[in-house]
């Protein structure tokens, strides 16, 4: 009985250690998400500035005529998690990417674990990039992706290039879901909306840079802002998914701890009862023993 009680005590101590680790992971997930959320809000403001510049360009040069090329090189950018402990995060993103993998696209993957998930869907990445380790790494990742898009576009001239981004986005009621977004060609609805939007100032825009170079710079910055925003959003949802998993794990550990404590109390009470019964039996035996006559 004492050996069983000792084992229960050891298991309780082990579960308490696990609970401490889970609680630490939960706290870290909540803390790590904050810088990425701030970065997402900051890049939203910068993206609006880029859109204002694109609107001024359209006001000065008129609407853009987007020709449909006869052949289009498809590019798929997939952003996943490389830190684990967030459930089937990568598998859901890989399944969404497989839905947009028509025509054997060039695949740019973010995250080594995401690469494994894509291979499970029959997609072989052309390049695998490291995800940001902190909010400062968002600049590095977005800039690297823009350069790779430009390289792929240079190889396909005069053919066109179509770029689709797949990542995880927050939804309603704290949920997350993989989404896809077309990066290139630029959304015609976005351009039409910018052309119709009233000018924020009565002054007319003017530029000294040649129009093709200015347009290329604006599109490049729009791509950068969109990729930066998507990477920040993906990391916020990754930490949110990890936080949810840690909360579930904490509840499971608490339930198991309560079961162990209840079992320990039962075993301890049984042990005390047995010892008391032994004392009572011994006492009764002494009472029934015949007393020796006094000499």
* In-domain check, residue 294: no
Integer Cα distance of 179 and 170 in angstroms: 10
Which 8-state DSSP code applies to residue 168?
Answer: E
The verdict on 7 and 93 lying in the same domain is: no
- Which parts of 185-260 are beta strand (E)? none
Confidence at residue 67, expressed as pLDDT on a 0 to 100 scale? 64
The verdict on 204 and 277 lying in the same domain is: no
* In-domain check, residue 196: yes
β-partners of residue 164 are 76, 182
The verdict on 16 and 57 lying in the same domain is: no
Integer Cα distance of 292 and 158 in angstroms: 119
- pLDDT by residue, tens only, the chain of 295 residues: 445 778 888 888 899 999 999 899 888 888 888 999 999 999 999 999 999 889 888 888 888 766 655 678 899 999 998 887 788 899 999 999 999 988 789 999 999 999 999 999 999 999 999 999 889 999 999 999 999 999 888 776 666 789 999 999 987 666 789 999 999 988 888 888 888 888 777 777 788 888 889 988 999 999 999 999 999 999 999 888 888 888 888 999 999 999 988 888 888 888 888 888 878 877 777 777 666 665 5
Number of domains the chain contains: 2
Cα–Cα nearest to 158, from 257, 272, 70, 66: 70
Summarize pLDDT for 211-239 with one digit per residue, the tens.
889 988 999 999 999 999 999 999 999 88
Confidence at residue 281, expressed as pLDDT on a 0 to 100 scale? 78
Judged by phi (left if over 0) then psi (alpha if -120 to 50, else beta), residue 176 lies in beta
The verdict on 205 and 281 lying in the same domain is: no
Confidence at residue 2, expressed as pLDDT on a 0 to 100 scale? 46
The verdict on 243 and 138 lying in the same domain is: yes
The verdict on 178 and 274 lying in the same domain is: no
* In-domain check, residue 291: no
Confidence at residue 38, expressed as pLDDT on a 0 to 100 scale? 92
* In-domain check, residue 293: no
Integer Cα distance of 13 and 6 in angstroms: 11
Confidence at residue 159, expressed as pLDDT on a 0 to 100 scale? 67
What CATH number does the domain containing 55 carry?
Answer: 3.40.1380.10
pTM over 0.85? The answer is no
The verdict on 32 and 13 lying in the same domain is: no
Domain of 17, in residue numbers: 2-21+255-286
Confidence at residue 39, expressed as pLDDT on a 0 to 100 scale? 93
* In-domain check, residue 295: no
Confidence at residue 293, expressed as pLDDT on a 0 to 100 scale? 62
Three-class secondary structure of residue 76 per DSSP: strand
The verdict on 235 and 129 lying in the same domain is: yes
């Amino acid at each position: 009985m004492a050996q069983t009680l000792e084992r229960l005590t050891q298991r309780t101590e082990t579960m308490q250690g696990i609970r401490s680790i889970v609680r630490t992971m939960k706290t870290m997930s909540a803390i790590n998400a904050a810088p990425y959320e701030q970065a997402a809000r900051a890049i939203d403001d910068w993206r609006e500035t880029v859109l204002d510049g694109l609107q001024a360009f359209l006001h000065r040069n008129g609407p853009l005529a987007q020709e449909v090329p006869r052949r289009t090189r498809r590019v798929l950018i997939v952003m996943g998690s490389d830190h684990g402990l967030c459930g089937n995060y990568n598998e859901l993103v890989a399944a969404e990417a497989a839905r947009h993998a028509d025509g054997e696209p060039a695949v740019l993957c973010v995250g080594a674990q995401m690469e494994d998930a894509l291979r499970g869907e029959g997609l072989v990445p052309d390049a695998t990039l490291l995800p940001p380790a902190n909010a400062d790494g968002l600049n590095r990742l977005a800039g690297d992706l823009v350069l790779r898009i430009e390289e792929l576009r240079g190889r396909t001239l005069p053919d066109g290039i179509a770029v689709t981004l797949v990542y995880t986005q927050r939804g309603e009621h704290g949920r997350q879901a993989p989404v896809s977004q077309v990066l290139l060609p630029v959304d015609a609805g976005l351009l039409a909306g910018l052309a119709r939007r009233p000018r924020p100032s009565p002054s007319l825009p003017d530029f000294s840079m040649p129009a093709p170079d200015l347009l290329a710079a604006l599109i490049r910055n729009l791509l950068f802002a969109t990729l930066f925003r998507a990477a920040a959003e993906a990391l916020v949802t990754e930490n949110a998914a990890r936080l949810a998993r840690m909360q579930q794990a904490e509840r499971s550990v608490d339930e198991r701890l309560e079961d162990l404590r209840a079992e320990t109390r039962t075993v301890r009470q049984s042990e005390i009862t047995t010892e008391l019964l032994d004392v009572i039996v011994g006492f009764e035996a002494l009472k029934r023993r015949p007393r020796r006559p006094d000499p």
